[in-house]
Structure 1
Amino acid sequence: MTRLAKPLSLLFAMMLLMTTPTVLADDTDGDGVDDANDDFPNDPCAHTDTDGDGLPDTVVSGCSSTVISGFTSFEEPNNGTKYYDYGDQGSDRYLWNNVNQSEVAYNSTGNELGFKLYYESTGGVGLTDGDWVGVVTYNGTVGNFTDGVKGYQLSDIDGITTFELDTVTANSLTFDIYLQDTGYETSGPEDYLIIRFVTATTSTDILNTTGQDIDQAYSAYLGVWTTTTVSLGGATGSLEVEFSSNSASETVYLDNIVFTATTTLTEDLDDDNDGWTDSDEADCGTDSIDATSVPTDTNGDGVCDALESDDTDGDGIANEHDDDDDNDGVDDVDDAFPLDASEWEDTDGDGIGNNADTDDDDDGHSDTEEADCASDPLDSSSTPLDSDGDALCDLLDPDDDNDGVADVADAFPHDSSEWTDTDSDGVGNNADTDDDDDGASDTQENDCGTDPLDSSSTPTDSDGDGICDGIDMDSDNDGVLDADDDFPDDECASLDTDDDSMPDSIIDGCNSRLIEDDDDDDDDWSDVMEANCDSDPLNAHSVPLDTDSDGTCDVDDYDDDDDGYEDAMDSFPLDASEWTDIDGDGTGDNADTDDDGDGWPDAVEEDCGSD
């Protein structure tokens, strides 16, 4: 936006203001005391400062608070008059009341921060009539201000303005900002906004639109009130708002600027600032919040007359001059009972000296008990250990955890659920699923019949199927149930017909410690021989026929009756007394009296010379 130059005039609301708190209430800090009567209206930890020295008479015990360390809500800075500055529109200067020019009336009391405005010319038109810089009540653009009925407006600067608040120390900053939704220029000249916090050595940007299109990069700020909160980390500095624009529609509004800080107040030891501490006045019977009420000290020794007449220990030295009033050997400054020779210490602050107190640290355990149980009777955090809660400390209790097992035999003397740790792995047997640490769970060992407390006793799993032999129906996984398996732990064999512990057969190629039985039925005939001799090798009653008992069955024997004649030439192969039957009458020649059946006995034929 450009204009023809004309006399400089500015509607400007004066920079210095002190006004009401951001929280518009009668008790800002919520401590129950109206702000009008509260010397610390922003701090709930205190409210009275009798002598006005900035130190509270009393501070709520243990209290610290986050307080408003500075704020402004722009509610009472001026009376609505116009401010005219007839200076050179091209000069840089602070805008404030000048001699021989109209002034803006303002309120300089209250709690709000003061502020000022600096104008920097860029050689253009400069500030002119109708350029708004200052506090306004007009809310046609923003709708309503966020706090009260006024806010601070910067618009149509035709240069650069820098709004600056008074210096403040704070942990955090909160402020409300409204950017009018319009077309901000990015060149010729550029419209920009910088909000920063400036200390003596640093300048930290909170918002900086330089080099960016406000309409795009900061669209979230346009046409709405936006609350911004920034951590300041206890820094001391001032808030600055630098703005450059050249159109009445290019406007920034500010409101409700609040700085907060965490504070811990220090209590005033002399509330009425009369030179006597509150504790001295209490001892001397005067009013600690009335500066006209002071103790009488005739000799000016700093000890009031009311205390000077006593000589507790009768040593001829008045108490006020005696370093040890009761002569108990402990100086008064270190003596909790400076007037009682029998007491000098009160560890628990209960008003009973340690010598008379049976529980010096007030931890619920008598000093005698603590001495017996090796805990510190002067330290409330040190108490006798009593694991089972039976009122007998562990040091004296033979069974600390009351599990029925004496500590000397208890691997876990302070754990009532455990007492044994067979494998010394730090896990008690009750919780340990493998008491002997042999790799087999206790449940598995109980099921399989092995000892869960003996690491050398482990379940056997012959077939490696994950089921121990004790409960495995087929321990060797050979397809024959253990009940029918003569060798239930050896997958290579299963039958022993003659019960001689040697298997009838071993599976070919199977690795076994067993030796195969070559006489399965134990009938003294090998299985091979019985197979050749047509007898049953699995039946002891089935044996090969061996007529001549020469160890070779008849099937394989060439001379079954061992008469010297091979069976093929022997008419009686199973009769050792016969081998020929010339007449074929079924009677061997040796027994036949007429070998050739010719009717003539052999003897007659021999006598007669016939054959």
Structure 2
Amino acid sequence: MKKTTLIVALLLVSVSFAQVAGTSFEEPETFSGKYTDTGDPNIAHDLINNASEPLVDFTSVGGEMGFNATYVPYDTPNVGLTDGDDVGVTDKKPSSSVPFTAGTKGYRLSDIDGNYILEFDQVDLTGISSPGLSVDFLLSINSSNPSNGNYEGDGTTNESGSDRLRIYVRDITNSTEIDLFNSTGSDLDDLVPFDSGTGEYQLEWQNVLMGLPSSVVQLVIEGRNNAGGESFWLDNIMFVGAVGVTEQPIQQFSLYPNPATKGFVNITSKTTGAKNILIYDVLGKKVLQTALIGDRLDISKLNSGVYILKIEQGNNSATKKLVIK
């Protein structure tokens, strides 16, 4: 099974990592069928588990992390999840050839007709060396015609046809938020793996990995879509910390999509402020230099190939391999 990692792996020197907390959704029970919300779709409300329907909430019993789901309507409310939809813990794989990345279960968000907010148990990383978080996720494709996109809008308006996925961490201690993945401002199709040779989108797991502060944190997933063919899948969520004496920190920066196929990449950081960007070709020639204020970097003028990308922000810096197809 192929999985795309959106940032370079951990920078390690003689160091291993232990899981502090996590879930691959193996402990919650699974039920077939769809979940039907019994609440009012016109107002924001907590989602509750229904008998013999997929679980949207889970209380930890000391093993895997617990989680709680909330529904928030569009600015102009729709039916939400009251019509019965594929959300919650499931053992139904994304496809017969694409299984889950850890175990036999995962979490699915499909045909929400509003906003779905999934909050996981808080994790205390105080005293943990080089803490970080890894999340596997998958964006569904148009299975009947993989050359066509599957999503709508750019996620900037709270309405039907403005699909959006955000994976982020609330730093409870410091009252900040750290993005691992945020499609807001982009067409989600631009962030789906794409094979330029066949001209088709790929049903493929992706991974986001980010270093975190040594504080109390909480993982949050926010999803918005409006069709049964639009699904976000989650699996293999791991909060980790370093074990050993010689180490370098987990990545400060996240780079995606990589390989890049749509003329841009997103570069997010644990901290705010402008990022100085330098890109070199394999011969060492500088081909791009800019000060990046936001997260989206235009690389549309660069040819297909492999590049070295250097990021500087304050006292932090990183060097990554960038592939443009």
TM value normalised by structure 2: 0.55
Contact 2:180–2:209 (Cα < 8 Å) also in 1: no
What is the correspondence of 1:186-585 to structure 2 with a 5 Å cutoff? 186=153, 188-200=160-172, 201-219=175-193, 222-262=202-242
Q: Please say if 1:133 is aligned against 2:107.
A: no
Q: CA deviation at 1:158?
A: 0.2
Instruction: Tell me how far 1:84 sits from its aligned partner.
Output: 4.7
Kept in 2: contact 1:83–1:103 (CA 8 A): no
Contact (CA 8 Å) 1:157, 1:246: kept in 2 or not? yes
Contact 1:89 1:126 in 2 (8 A): yes
Cα 1:256/1:217, change in 2 over 3 Å: closer
Deviation at 1:219, TM superposition (A): 3.8
| Contact 1:83/1:102 (<8 A) preserved | no
- Whether 1:173 and 2:127 are equivalent positions in the alignment is no
RMSD: 2.7
**Counterpart Cα distance in 2 of 1:117 and 1:162:** 6
Consecutive aligned runs of 4 or more in structure 1 exceeding 3 Å deviation: 81-85, 101-108, 217-222
Larger proportion of helix: 1
1:234 aligned counterpart, secondary structure? coil
- Between the aligned partners of 1:130 and 1:87, the Cα distance in structure 2 is 12
Aligned residues: 198
User: Conserved in 2, the CA contact under 8 Å of 1:185 and 1:213?
Assistant: yes
Once the two structures are superposed, what CA deviation does each residue of 1:106-127 show, in whole Å capped at 9, x if it has no partner? 6743411111111101101211
Q: Hey, what's the Cα distance between the residues in 2 that align with 1:241 and 1:76?
A: 20
* Secondary structure class of the residue paired with 1:233: coil
Q: Which has the higher contact order (CA 8 A, sep 6+)?
A: 2
Partner SS for 2:87: strand
Which has a greater percent of strand?
Answer: 2
Shift of 1:70: 0.3
Q: Distance in 1 between matches of 2:28 and 2:22?
A: 13
Over 3 Å counting, the alpha-carbon distance change for 1:121 and 1:107 in structure 2 is closer
After TM superposition, give the deviation of residue 65 of structure 1 in Å.
6.9
| Residue identity matched to 2:104 | V
Which amino acid is the alignment partner of residue 151 of structure 2? Y
How far apart, in 2, do the equivalents of 1:79 and 1:184 lie?
28
Q: Which residue of 2 aligns with 1:68?
A: 19
CA distance in 1, matches of 2:233, 2:135: 11
Question: C-alpha separation between the residues in 2 aligned to 1:236 and 1:135?
Answer: 26
The answer on whether the counterparts of 2:39 and 2:45 sit within 8 Å (CA) in structure 1 is: no
**Gaps in structure 1 of 5+ consecutive residues:** 1-63, 265-611
Q: Is 2:31–2:52's contact at 8 Å kept on the other side of the alignment?
A: no
Q: Does the aligned pair in 1 maintain the 2:132–2:212 contact within 8 Å?
A: yes
Q: Given the alignment of the two structures, is residue 111 of structure 1 paired with residue 63 of structure 2, yes or no? A: yes
1:85 Cα deviation from its structure 2 partner: 3.7
Change (3 A) 1:223 1:119: same
Give TM-score scaled by structure 1 length: 0.30
Deviations 1:484-531 (A, max 9, x none): xxxxxxxxxxxxxxxxxxxxxxxxxxxxxxxxxxxxxxxxxxxxxxxx
C-alpha displacement of 1:154: 0.5
What secondary structure does 1:228 align onto?
A: strand
**In structure 2, distance between residues paired with 1:83 and 1:76:** 19
Which amino acid is the alignment partner of residue 153 of structure 2?
T
Q: Does 1:124 align with 2:75?
A: no
2:221 match: secondary structure = strand
Structure 2 letter corresponding to 1:138? K
Number of the residue aligned with 1:148: 103
- The Cα shift of 1:203 comes to 0.6
Give SS of 1:75's match.
coil
Pairing partner for 2:31 from 80, 96, 115? 80
Query: Residues 85 and 178 of structure 1: is their aligned pair in 2 closer, same or farther, counting only changes over 3 Å?
Result: closer
Q: What is the distance in 1 between the residues matched to 2:59 and 2:235?
A: 18
Preserved CA contact (<8 Å) 1:197 1:205: yes
> Which residue matches 1:184?
151
